[in-house]
């Protein structure tokens, strides 16, 4: 067992919107992701969506209003709520989701699971 250095893990890839799993617990993936620009509008019917901003600023767009987050801030999108994360400049996020949750809400369009 050893500690996971999130900055070190984030330095191993450049792609945006391609989460990397850095740990697992109780059937959940702990992931880091680099983001820039807008993602796709989507929802998760069976799980909430947890965001912890590590670096930069991220806006979670929702049909009923937006939430803007900075480093150290957490937001949970309730299950079933359509949302679209976006970042004007590159930002880094820690995500926690049940293992196998498609990042786009659909298995057909989701990024493949990558463990680093």
For the whole model, what pTM was predicted?
A: 0.90
Superfamily for the 6-98 domain: Jelly Rolls (2.60.120.10)
**Does residue 35 contact residue 72 with C-beta atoms inside 8 Å?**
no
| pLDDT the model gives residue 79 | 95
Cα–Cα distance for residue pair 111/57, rounded to 1 Å:
22
Q: Mind listing the pLDDT tens digit for each residue in 6-46?
A: 999 999 999 999 999 999 999 999 999 999 999 999 999 99
List the chain domain ranges: 6-98
Q: Mind listing the pLDDT tens digit for each residue in 42-100?
A: 999 999 999 999 999 999 999 999 999 999 999 999 999 999 999 999 999 999 999 98
**Does residue 88 contact residue 109 with C-beta atoms inside 8 Å?**
no
Cα–Cα distance for residue pair 58/87, rounded to 1 Å:
5
| pLDDT the model gives residue 43 | 92
């Amino acid at each position: 067992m050893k500690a996971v250095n999130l900055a070190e893990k984030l330095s191993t890839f450049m792609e945006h919107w391609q989460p990397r799993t850095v740990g697992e617990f109780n059937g959940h993936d702990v992931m880091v992701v680099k983001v820039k620009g807008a993602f796709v509008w989507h929802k998760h019917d069976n799980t909430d969506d947890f965001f912890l901003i590590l670096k930069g600023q991220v806006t979670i767009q929702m049909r009923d209003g937006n939430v803007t987050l900075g480093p150290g801030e957490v937001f949970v999108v309730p299950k079933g709520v359509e949302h679209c994360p976006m970042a004007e400049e590159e930002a880094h996020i820690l995500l926690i989701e049940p293992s196998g949750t498609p990042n786009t809400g659909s298995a057909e369009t989701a990024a493949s699971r990558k463990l680093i």
